[in-house]
Structure 1
Amino acid sequence: MEKISGKSKRLDIENINLIKKLIPYAFDGDKIDFELLKEALGDNVSTDNERYQLTWHGKANSRQISMEQTSGTLLPHEEQSVNWSNSNNLFIEGDNLEALKLLQKSYHGKVKMIYIDPPYNTGSEFIYPDKFKDNLDTYLKFTGQIGDEGFKTSTNTEMDGRFHTNWLNMMYPRIRLSRNLLRKDGVAFISIGEAELGNLIKVCDELFGPVNRIGVCSRVMKTGGNKGTYFSPNVDYILVYAKDINEVNGFRDEISEELINKVYTQVQQEGPRKGENYRIMGLYQGYLDKRANQRYFIKCPDGSHVLPPGETIPQEVAMGEQVTPVDGDGMWRWTYGRFKEELENDNVEFKKTNKSSLIDQDGNQAKWNIYTKIWLKDRMDEGKVPVNIFEKFENRHSSAELKELDIPFDFAKPTMLIKYLMKIVGVKGNDIVLDFFAGSCSTADAVLQYNKEAGSQCQFVCIQLPELLPENSNEFKLGYKTIADIGKERIRRVLKKIESQDGFKVFSLGSSNIKSWSPDVENLEASLFDSVENLRDGRTEDDILYEILLKSGLELSVPVEIREVNSKKIFSVGFGALLICLEENLSIDDVEKIGQLKEELKPSSVRVVFRDNGFSDDSVKVNAIQALKQFGIEDVKSV
């Protein structure tokens, strides 16, 4: 019976398996033969040590940190949550590096959108001190879960000498891990100030690939102001990257009321679209490149034939008669086939004029202009391409929101901004939105509002370090000990304000419930009869349950039902896909009754997990696997 490890998913093994799947002959057993791999890649192997790149002291270590396993877990806190049983939203209190590692298996390729507002590195923000080998212990000391006399935190100041280095070493592994969680059509938005804009673009180009950079947007933070040495800093920036640019859809904005009133002023007077608003656009546009099938005669209402300006005239004067254009000849926007179809659908308009840019069959100035109708309803459905300057989401809007909620916090992003990003990228249904620098939880607030307005069931996953607030701060005096406390309380107040039936689950980062583990499967088999308790004292069944979910690659929002067999509690996860029994003194009859649950619940496949020393004796433990095989259950593990 294989034991579940207390370590997180090994990303290096996953990468090796991907290579093995694509190029199996480049392996000698389980080891990569790099000479064979080079042969398989042909000329696409770089051997140049001098190339354009961003490098800094600690970059290699940052890569290693992102690959290192964690021995942490996420501990559930139902008492801090709202509507625990019926909500898929998550708030995780802890170091986001460790939390992102723990989410790699359960949320890999499942996140539609990432929005983060990380420290801008202006010299006053706290930069968390990542450690390669003992990062979890560092976090536990930071939060007081384990003692460490003399452990200190500090801000990142320019006096340090490693000003940019410290910030880059913090950001690099976190962005690298978060990219794994995006869906193929997923998009990441990263707010940033001017200090690290250039560096962050280079980091994201490296991690996402420059081809997947969608753009850099400017956001107006405020208007006016008299700060700054040379210019008043009134804008910050949002970097936009796709997981795979070829998979991205959406990126459409609503047409504004102002544009509608200004442009879509004409009204259809008859036909099936009677009463609809539209605008017109010339069928001839001077900027079009020459195309062989887009220069032809069109017959006007008075019987004359017209075409765009130019020297080349069709030999026969007839509707649709084409000619191959030469340099300088004008083009219609549509082919004749498309024009004919749109004409039949009443999407073409002829207007008499003495200022026409068209010519008639004799080469003289025509008496007509030809327009196509662009219907408001169609454009409302399609939307428009958003601009890369955001002027409606200033900091003052966020200040007003927090004041209304009576939440003390400075420098939060407006929920209107995040809702706008969700809208233009096409977040819908039960899509997941991730924010691993959650702060006061503007993202959670935005998702809850978005669901209320759009009737969707989108989920948020917010991660926030429990950064201590100064004891002399207004927040501390109001009862908030950490920034994470502020975030949780904001979510509660938003739920109440908008009268949402939703909720959120609270988890915190802690050490694994499993005390002893080995990454070597063969060694695990050797400990089959080890009856020593390997679970930490003081941990609850729910603590262990949710660690098993993470290690099994299941989302923390998966439905969990409690069943009973022979008065023994069984957790049925995902409608029977995973059955967990953490009881002690199990008999063979108990095991067989668990097997019978499969026949009752009828899942397509079943995994069963027991407490490693939960059997009445060693013979029951040995026979349990065979007993479950009778019910078609092959996947049996212990914890």
Structure 2
Amino acid sequence: MRLAEVGWAILSFEGSMAEISNVTSEPTQDALEELLGHIRDLVPSAFPDGELDAPQLLAALGAADGDAASFAFTWPGIENARAEARAATTATLIPDEKASLNWASARDILIEGDNLQVLKVLKAGYRGKAKLIYVDPPYNTGKTFTYNDKFAISEADYLRESGQLDDQGQANVSKIEKGGKKHAPWLTMMFPRLVVARHLLRRDGVFLASIDNNELHHLRLLLDAVFGAENFVDMMTWQGGRKGDAKLTAGGQDYILIYARDRQHLKELNTVWRERKTGLEVVYAKERELLDKHGEDFESAKDELREWYDSLPEGNPSKAHSHYNFIDAGGVWTSDNSSSPNYRENLVYDFKGHKPPDNGWRYELPTMQRLDAEGKLIYPTGRAKRIRIKKYLHEQEEWAPPSTFYQDRSGASSALDSLMEAKVFDDPKSTAVLSRLFQSLTDEGDLIIDFFAGSGSTGQAVWEQNARDGKARNWVLVQAPEEPDESEESGKNAVEAGYTTIFEITAERLRRAAKAINEELGFRIFRARPSSLTVENHFMARSEMTGQSYIKGIVDGANAPPVVEGADDLAVAWELVLKAAGVRLGSQLTMHNVGGVEVFEFVQEDEKESGRLFVCLGAFSSETADQLGLRKSDTLILRGDKVDDSTTLSLAPRMQKNLVLLERIPREISL
């Protein structure tokens, strides 16, 4: 963000000035492709059909030609949404150690606040850090949703912006359409949040959004604009239970849209997503039962196994394995093709008197010999013409995540009601479904972000999956402090239980989940609040002012403290390191008292070998620096109005660019 917009300046000292050389008048083709690649990465909406659309690029930059026509997804309010995405924020995040759980050891973060402002604050420290972002935004049913007040558009404005009325209120069309009015506020709310959130993803990161029928088609187009249509991966269909009172189709499904931050990069990395198949334990139990019952009579065991598969109802996860319908001492198995899907010369060879398939065998000769020794090759008999390969279910326990799956939604609600000892939140997402996704798409040390946290299902799901596979994933959740809806049973129950905001429900749910899973788990709470730094207001001349009084007013403003009067030093220190140094919220903080001067030391959670970061908001001196043992690799942030010029002059050559002064306006100091 531009520091001038929040009314404070950073003064840093550079050792030397870089030289500019080898400038050419025109870019080479490679340079042009590189430039287009950078533009595509920054503004994917400018490439709606894979090629650069200049009007769309200009529109994204706020410099559109109103007369230029191009294919685009638009709605009344899109310019406001674009402006909101570009605007800086003056919000900050204040730590609340008292409300947190196991603060000292916690690396998971729960943030209270408007998620757009929070995402903007997080950009400095979390840009390119998240492996996965999952959101379950407020569904737009046409009724009021939490973010409506700010983004609502009047009917008259909607009709004018959609071109149905002219500036005099006269109709430009034969029939007035008002249905789009309910979609415009939702899209205007979503767009800037998605734009900012995209910056937080790693290049190999993935974005997932749950949505229902009401906005599915709009969200797909919106995500195409934000991430680029070429980065669409799939649309999962989650069947959560049939609607018994439906008059036409049963419905009951939600959708999960999946986008890659850079799908081409995933391809270059040869990324493979896998999850453990569901329903295995039931099949294995049946397998043991049949082997105990029939011994080596595998034919009878096979017949009973197939009857059992047939008896399973549709949707039962074990039924998906019904093609594993043979059984022997090694377990249930199926046979697979031995032919390679693609021609490779090294796979073309005769094997034990059998000619190779047209593309060659599936495996090289040593592997075929091993499979033969293990009894896993099935030689042709009767009408069979090819060798087939025996594959046991217990050796094929993973597959790609399915595009369609069933998971009863009511189970998630029952589990949360039981955990909270009351129904205080409607329709929470299933931690079982989320855990499956996190297991497939993330790995050790990955960060997962959810900026529509709701009841906190994402946080609990990450903890549950970590407990299953022993990996250490972390999360950042953001939830607005919205009031429970007392017109609903859950809202009444929440208020009666003492919860004044949904955020309080989120935090309490995670406390209880931590106790149930592992009492060593914890999370840090931060709350979005107005900046503790002085925000500049333009100094306006008044009619009664003289030239001297006008200048005096400007000078007095410039010399005023850069920190709001009465601001808490700890809150200021966190704000400075978040915005100026890109520190993340799981970092360790140590407070030093050096000769009566309070100094904050921050250690980034995954950069303990790098230089130290110190913040001092008091009267820092050269003696303080000596007592700290300040090194050139350290970074030091000071209040400029608390440090005299002689101290600055002594520190500048020593610290160079790692010395940062917080000031209303930069000072010139001769070295």
TM-score by length of 1: 0.73
Contact residue 344 and residue 360 of structure 2 kept, 8 A: no
Task: Select which of 374, 388, 396 maps to 1:371.
Answer: 388
Structure-to-structure mapping, 1:300-315, within 5 angstroms: 300=353, 305-306=354-355
Task: Select which of 209, 227, 244 maps to 2:228.
Answer: 209
CA shift for structure 1 position 394:
1.9
Contact residue 452 and residue 477 of structure 2 kept, 8 A: yes
* Partner in structure 2 of residue 241 of structure 1: 259
* Partner in structure 2 of residue 254 of structure 1: 276
Task: Select which of 324, 338, 358 maps to 1:283.
Answer: 338
Residue aligned with 1:106, SS:
helix
CA shift for structure 1 position 108:
0.3
- The CA deviation string for residues 8-64 of structure 1, in whole angstroms up to 9 with x for no partner, is 999xxxxxxxxxx9x97689xxxxxx9xx89x99x9654685443311111122112
Matching residue's letter, 1:540: D
Contact residue 265 and residue 278 of structure 1 kept, 8 A: yes
Structure-to-structure mapping, 1:370-519, within 5 angstroms: 370-374=387-391, 376=393, 378-380=395-397, 383-406=398-421, 408-425=424-441, 427-470=442-485, 473-517=492-536
* Partner in structure 2 of residue 313 of structure 1: none
* Partner in structure 2 of residue 87 of structure 1: 106
CA shift for structure 1 position 278:
5.7
CA 1:5–1:265: 2 relative to 1, 3 Å: farther
- The CA deviation string for residues 501-549 of structure 1, in whole angstroms up to 9 with x for no partner, is 1211111111111114599xxxxxx999965322123321221121012
CA shift for structure 1 position 629:
4.3
* Partner in structure 2 of residue 601 of structure 1: none
Q: Tell me, yes or no, if structure 1 residue 122 matches structure 2 residue 141.
A: yes
Q: Distance in 1 between matches of 2:356 and 2:272?
A: 36
* Partner in structure 2 of residue 315 of structure 1: none
* Partner in structure 1 of residue 651 of structure 2: 628
Query: Between Structure 1 and Structure 2, how many residues are aligned?
Result: 527
* Partner in structure 1 of residue 593 of structure 2: 564
Q: Distance in 1 between matches of 2:25 and 2:586?
A: 40
Contact residue 206 and residue 261 of structure 2 kept, 8 A: yes
Residue aligned with 1:490, SS:
helix
CA shift for structure 1 position 91:
1.2
Q: Distance in 1 between matches of 2:461 and 2:259?
A: 20
Residue aligned with 2:591, SS:
strand
Task: Select which of 573, 577, 581 maps to 2:612.
Answer: 577
Structure 2, unaligned runs of 5 or more: 10-19, 27-31, 40-49, 56-67, 152-176, 288-321, 539-553, 663-671
Contact residue 119 and residue 125 of structure 1 kept, 8 A: no
Percent identity among equivalent residues?
Answer: 28
Matching residue's letter, 2:455: S
CA 1:7–1:458: 2 relative to 1, 3 Å: farther
Residue aligned with 1:353, SS:
coil
Contact residue 233 and residue 260 of structure 2 kept, 8 A: yes
CA 1:340–1:253: 2 relative to 1, 3 Å: closer
Matching residue's letter, 2:454: G
Residue aligned with 1:219, SS:
strand
CA 1:307–1:432: 2 relative to 1, 3 Å: closer
- The CA deviation string for residues 209-243 of structure 1, in whole angstroms up to 9 with x for no partner, is 1121110011112234214x533331011101111
Residue aligned with 2:387, SS:
strand
Q: Tell me, yes or no, if structure 1 residue 165 matches structure 2 residue 180.
A: no
* Partner in structure 2 of residue 325 of structure 1: none
Residue aligned with 1:74, SS:
strand
Task: Select which of 570, 574, 583 maps to 1:542.
Answer: 570
* Partner in structure 2 of residue 186 of structure 1: 205
Task: Select which of 595, 601, 605 maps to 2:633.
Answer: 605
Q: Distance in 1 between matches of 2:71 and 2:592?
A: 59
* Partner in structure 2 of residue 593 of structure 1: 627
CA 1:453–1:405: 2 relative to 1, 3 Å: farther
Contact residue 187 and residue 242 of structure 1 kept, 8 A: yes
Q: Distance in 1 between matches of 2:275 and 2:205?
A: 18
* Partner in structure 2 of residue 56 of structure 1: 75
CA 1:265–1:632: 2 relative to 1, 3 Å: farther
Task: Select which of 351, 357, 382 maps to 1:298.
Answer: 351
Residue aligned with 1:428, SS:
coil
Q: Distance in 1 between matches of 2:447 and 2:7?
A: 22
Structure 1, unaligned runs of 5 or more: 11-20, 28-33, 133-157, 269-274, 309-329, 359-368, 520-525, 599-603, 616-620
Q: RMSD over aligned Cα, in angstroms?
A: 3.8
Matching residue's letter, 1:334: R
- The CA deviation string for residues 536-579 of structure 1, in whole angstroms up to 9 with x for no partner, is 23321221121012111111111111223213221111155211
- The CA deviation string for residues 366-419 of structure 1, in whole angstroms up to 9 with x for no partner, is xxx412243556534xx2112111202524333333333325110111111111
CA 1:105–1:349: 2 relative to 1, 3 Å: same
Greater mean alpha carbon deviation, residues 58-67 or residues 625-634: 625-634
Q: Distance in 1 between matches of 2:497 and 2:335?
A: 59
Q: Distance in 2 between matches of 1:224 and 1:606?
A: 62
Contact residue 282 and residue 371 of structure 1 kept, 8 A: yes
CA shift for structure 1 position 199:
0.8
Residue aligned with 1:216, SS:
strand
* Partner in structure 2 of residue 143 of structure 1: none
Q: Distance in 2 between matches of 1:255 and 1:264?
A: 16
Task: Select which of 96, 102, 106 maps to 2:121.
Answer: 102
